[in-house]
Amino acid sequence: MRRGIGIAILVLVGLYGRAHAQQILGDYVETRSADVYTGPCFANAEAGLMGDQAILAWRIRRGDWDGVRLDGLSVVGIVKARATLGDPHGNPYPAKAVVIVDERATEAQRQALLRFAQAMAGELLQNVVRVVAAPIRFDLRDAGEHATRAIVRAGDLARIETRPLSEQDHICGNEEVFYPPLAPVQHAMPAVAALNEFRGDGLGVTWTISGKRSAFVGHFAR
């Protein structure tokens, strides 16, 4: 009996160790063309008119995907959807996407980064029209009081710069996180996108947007 219990414990320990070894975690930044931290009046005014563009960025601090180690590498997905993302009255699919993979990655790592981003973003990144390798800068800076500033630059194609929310961003007084993040996160805080820019090809549209309460900065673990 004791021997059976011992074997069972060893099996559980082995399974835990394997699951722990396969965990992937890191940082996440997102921005879109509609406010995510807002009141219903602003959200309703934007629904159907904007919010169909988004940039999702991941930096893997530690972990692997499909058996490929990805420590320190980043991947960025740029999306043009058919309707406001998160609006229950609109259908944003099929969306088109461009994916930018870290130029430091090997070919196997680039493929793993693409599969990882598609798994994290689901249907948003299923229709990828272009994959580009480029240098990716991904910086998170402490801004005090549990707030963070983010800078993401993917070559000359995409840029995100965020700042924490402040009192001046509470316009109507009943703001909340109206739309959740587009990808699963362990923790994320809404932020102002001081810059949200895509200047690449493939989506039929480019944009430069600033000063919207349209960003999330956080962390993921899977």
Count of domains observed in the chain: 1
Contact 46, 83 (CB under 8 A): no
CA dist., res. 114 & res. 61, Å (int) = 16
Whether residue 40 has a cis bond before it, omega within 30° of 0? no
Contacts of 43-50 spanning 24+ positions with Cβ under 8 A: 43/178, 43/179, 46/84, 47/84, 47/87, 47/89, 47/90, 48/83, 48/84, 48/87, 48/89, 48/90, 49/84, 50/84
Q: Which band of pLDDT confidence, cut at 50, 70 and 90, is reported for residue 118? A: very high
Per residue in 142-198, pLDDT (tens digit) is 866 566 899 999 999 999 999 998 777 666 666 778 889 999 999 999 999 999 999
CA dist., res. 130 & res. 164, Å (int) = 32
Residue 105 covered by a domain: yes
> Sign of torsion, CA 10 11 12 13?
positive
CA dist., res. 29 & res. 38, Å (int) = 18
Whether residue 184 has a cis bond before it, omega within 30° of 0? no
Q: State which H helix or E strand residue 159 sits in.
A: strand 158-164
Average pLDDT across the chain, whole number: 86
Contact 92, 104 (CB under 8 A): no
Residue 9 covered by a domain: no
- For 70-89, what is the mean pLDDT? 94
Residue 7 covered by a domain: no
pLDDT for residue 167: 74
Cβ count near 68 (within 10 Å) = 17
Residue 10 covered by a domain: no
61: its two tokens: 């601090």
Residue 18 covered by a domain: no
Residue 1 covered by a domain: no
End-to-end distance of the chain based on CA atoms, in angstroms? 36
In the three-class reduction of DSSP (H, G, I as helix; E, B as strand; rest coil), residue 89 is classed as: coil
pLDDT for residue 47: 64
Look up the domain containing 74 and give its range.
25-221
pLDDT at 28 exceeding the cut of 50: yes
Question: What is the reported pTM?
Answer: 0.86
Residue 217 covered by a domain: yes
Residue 15 covered by a domain: no
- For 51-73, what is the mean pLDDT? 97
- For 43-60, what is the mean pLDDT? 81
Q: State which H helix or E strand residue 139 sits in.
A: strand 136-144
Contact 76, 158 (CB under 8 A): yes
